[in-house]
Amino acid sequence: MFNQFAKYEDAFRDWRRDGMPGLKSESYSYVEFLTSKEDDQRSRDGTLWPHQWEAFLRVVYAHEILGKTEIGADGLLLNVVTGGGKTAVIAAIIAWLRVAHGVQKFVLLCPNLIVRDRLQDDFEGGKVFRDRDLLPESALSAGLGNFDLTTLGSGIPGGWSSLFSASVILGNIHQFYQSNKSGQSNLAGLMNGPEFAVFNDEAHNSPAPEYEATLSKMRERTILRVDTTATPDRADGKTPDSEMIYEYGVMDALADAIIKTPVVYQPDIKTVQLTYTDAKTGERRKVEEIDWEEVDRLGINATQWVTDDEPMRQQMAIALKRLEEQERRAKGRFQPILFIVAVCKADAEKAAQTLNSYFKIRTLLVTEDSEELDRKKAQELGRQGKGGKPFKAVVSVLMLREGWDVPEVGVILLLRKFGSIVYGQQVVGRGLRKVRVRGIDSAEPQICAVVDHPKLEHQWLWDLFNARKRVGVKLDDLFDELDDLPPPLPKQDRSKPENWIDVPPVDPDYSDEGEFDVGDIAPPPEPIERWEDALDGITYDPTVIEITKVGITGVTGQELGGAGWKTIHSAPEATDFVGSAAVVSDEVIRDAVKSAMLEMAEDLTVEAGYAATYKDKVYGALVQHVRKKFLKGSSLGLAERADVEFAWRMLPQVKNKLSKMPGLVAGIVEHGD
């Protein structure tokens, strides 16, 4: 996403140097209140961090000096890394609008309950304004510090009845949708009151038709809209309609020591034992041990390297070793947390069982079906008392992503492959926020250990953090990440503005009607008209490959950012795990099959060149196919448990065979009912 403020940077710098001419006197007084007495270009200690100060001043400049006709007609966007303190910036803008512009109402929008809970904690009773000393005494004595909060939904006291009287209205964006009566009522109440400022947190969720429609409707009464996000570029390639005016990314935050230093650990694997099993009967047909270099020829699914029983336990052993190291560094000041990310509920339940029963680590499982109490427990993990038996691990299926900010997360274990830069960044971001409790100096270095697997092929994700390697470290060398962390790279600032170039605007009258030589392209396959017969004719080999033993020589640790050292740690002591495998519940395994078929239907539809909206036809055909081939004609809900497990093991083969049959999916779309 392009920074629309770049062309104003010179004028903005001159404006600050010249004493901020053109500001309202009330705005000037408020900015002066936040300004350091020793340096008029810095914020006062205890208020805003340097990058928060930069973001705040750009909002003030854009709103008062440039105006909406120049920038931000649909809103201003601040792109600030996770752990960079977006909430404090929001609070400073709210305080400025109240003190300098007399704004009485502020609407905080969020995409989910987790983000809502975090914002409620920050704004309840004006906590964030007090913690950051954002209100001058004159404003407090004049009664301008009254920021009554009402939170919509979930039975929280307040709600619609206090929507008119509240100063700060916090709600899930869906609670203002016009497609439901409650949303219509909330929106009507808001639109019939005074003008307001809108803060759209986690704004990368905005590009959805109803989301956009709601923001568009609010625009009629909106004085200022400010969007905040750490990942403005969504997985679907869309971006918010607001204009980005400030960027503060991972590398900036590492250079300023605002966030933890991420360190990635991967096993160095030498040999792999594979067991060939009949997925239907459970009969073991063959066992072979092969070298690591040979495994690619077998086409093993990437997630098997972290979800089959043996490799999952191996990865957990690595993660728990890192957790022990983090506990030693914590020195009793807090309880570090292991955060595990799974791809589906079946894998998540299996992981939680393995940690609870095999490793004896008290673990919390959080999925979309979890009770609100478990969600609350996840949010409060870092606040657990030191006594009793606190949770040391939490397992999630991307449920705990944006908005879940528990600084005590010290280790992240990836039990899934990320194909999306957005999701990958959001998950790693859960561990970037520094722990700030009594006894920890702000300059104390902190790390977040990410346990990855080479077969997940996440190097593209680590490249985003500018990964480099430290060579010449032997297996038995002792290495302390905290003592030996290299100094971060110097922060890159803009210089030599005379060498900058402007990106020319797109000419709306230009039309490219030329022809391009794209070479010989084979025509798409003809849709198979009798696709039912083609499906029925597919045969499957019930033999599945399970990874039953992994021989590793060590664990590679690689720092991301800075000088990017690389070191090798000893392998976990236990490589032969003993004990029964975790067994997921009946409900979860059936739900996993359904979810996998839904995902498969969409993938097959898009791969065949059709819009995802046609996936329902493919899903219907897929359900009937799975019933015939693996469920003995029964529905998923009524089939025997053994048959459901058989279907679960065979689904990767189903997708492989269907995707390799030209014209099959096209036939389902074109000729299906």
Residue at a domain's end among 223, 248, 273 = 248
Q: Which of the pair, 45 or 249, is modelled with greater confidence?
A: 45
Range list of H helices, 537-585: none
Q: How far apart are CA 450 and CA 447, in angstroms?
A: 10
The encoded tokens of residue 261 equal 């230093």
**Positions of E strands within 441-500:** 447-451
**pLDDT level of residue 97 (50, 70, 90 thresholds):** very high
| Residue 179 and residue 283 in one domain | no
DSSP lists the bridge partners of residue 409 as 337
The encoded tokens of residue 483 equal 């003592």
Cβ neighbors of 83 (< 8 A, separation 6 or more) are 253, 258, 259, 260, 405, 407, 429, 432, 433, 434
Q: Which of the pair, 442 or 594, is modelled with greater confidence?
A: 594
Q: Check whether 622 has a pLDDT greater than 80.
A: yes
Whether the Cβ atoms of residue 28 and residue 39 lie closer than 8 Å to each other: no
Would you state the pLDDT for residue 504?
A: 62
Residue at a domain's end among 214, 248, 282 = 248
Asked if the structure places residue 652 within a domain, the reply is yes
pTM for the whole structure? 0.77
| Residue 306 and residue 215 in one domain | no
Q: How many CA atoms lie within 13 A of 517 on its CB side?
A: 1
With residue 187 as reference, give the H or E element that holds it. Answer: helix 181-191
State the average pLDDT over residues 594-603: 91
DSSP lists the bridge partners of residue 149 as 168
Asked if the structure places residue 504 within a domain, the reply is no
DSSP lists the bridge partners of residue 248 as 80
Rg (the chain; Cα; Å): 28
DSSP letter, residue 433: B
Asked if the structure places residue 315 within a domain, the reply is yes
By DSSP bridging, strand 543-559 and strand 261-278 are antiparallel
| Residue 244 and residue 274 in one domain | no
Q: Check whether 616 has a pLDDT greater than 90.
A: yes
Whether the Cβ atoms of residue 40 and residue 54 lie closer than 8 Å to each other: no
| Residue 350 and residue 402 in one domain | yes
Would you state the pLDDT for residue 115?
A: 79
| Residue 562 and residue 589 in one domain | no
Q: Within 10 Å of residue 501's Cβ, how many Cβ atoms?
A: 5
Range list of H helices, 453-612: 459-463, 481-484, 531-536, 586-607
Whether the Cβ atoms of residue 75 and residue 226 lie closer than 8 Å to each other: yes
Which among 440, 439, 424, 27 is positioned nearest to 250, based on CA atoms?
424
Would you state the pLDDT for residue 531?
A: 94
**Positions of E strands within 570-668:** none
**CA dihedral (236, 241, 245, 248) positive or negative:** negative
> What's the CATH code of the domain at 314?
3.40.50.300
Mean pLDDT of the chain: 83
| Residue 163 and residue 308 in one domain | no
Whether the Cβ atoms of residue 588 and residue 564 lie closer than 8 Å to each other: no
Which among 205, 331, 261 is positioned nearest to 83, based on CA atoms?
261
Cβ neighbors of 239 (< 8 A, separation 6 or more) are 1, 204, 207, 232, 233
Question: Which residue is it, tokens 């201003």?
Answer: 76
Q: Check whether 648 has a pLDDT greater than 50.
A: yes
Would you state the pLDDT for residue 615?
A: 92
DSSP letter, residue 524: P
Q: How far apart are CA 81 and CA 92, in angstroms?
A: 18
Asked if the structure places residue 522 within a domain, the reply is no
The encoded tokens of residue 525 equal 């396959």
**pLDDT level of residue 237 (50, 70, 90 thresholds):** low
| Residue 292 and residue 235 in one domain | no
| Residue 303 and residue 170 in one domain | no
Residue at a domain's end among 219, 248, 277 = 248
Asked if the structure places residue 511 within a domain, the reply is no
N residues, the chain: 673
State the average pLDDT over residues 643-660: 92
Asked if the structure places residue 618 within a domain, the reply is yes
The encoded tokens of residue 168 equal 């700060």
Cβ neighbors of 383 (< 8 A, separation 6 or more) are none
The encoded tokens of residue 404 equal 């879940």
- The three-state secondary structure class of 647 is helix
Question: Count of domains in the chain?
Answer: 3
DSSP letter, residue 402: T
| Residue 297 and residue 207 in one domain | no
Q: How far apart are CA 208 and CA 210, in angstroms?
A: 6
Would you state the pLDDT for residue 474?
A: 38
Q: Which of the pair, 223 or 426, is modelled with greater confidence?
A: 223
Instruction: State how far the alpha carbon of 348 is from the alpha carbons of 116, 414, 429, 598, in Å.
Output: 24, 11, 20, 18
Q: How many CA atoms lie within 13 A of 86 on its CB side?
A: 29
* Domain coverage including residue 316: 261-479+543-569
Asked if the structure places residue 196 within a domain, the reply is yes
Q: Which of the pair, 287 or 357, is modelled with greater confidence?
A: 357
- What is the per-residue pLDDT across 439-498, written as a single tens digit (0 to 9) for each? 888 888 888 888 888 888 888 788 776 544 333 333 333 345 554 455 555 665 656 655
| Residue 237 and residue 302 in one domain | no
| Residue 285 and residue 205 in one domain | no
DSSP 40-89: TTSBPTTS--HHHHHHHHHHHIIIIII-TTTS-TT-EEEEE-TTS-HHHH
| Residue 663 and residue 562 in one domain | no
Asked if the structure places residue 151 within a domain, the reply is yes
**pLDDT level of residue 407 (50, 70, 90 thresholds):** confident
- What is the per-residue pLDDT across 502-540, written as a single tens digit (0 to 9) for each? 656 656 666 555 555 556 666 778 999 999 999 999 999
Exposure string of 365-401, with b = 16+ CB inside 10 Å and e = fewer, is bbbeebeeebbebbbebbebeeeeeebbbbbbbbbbb
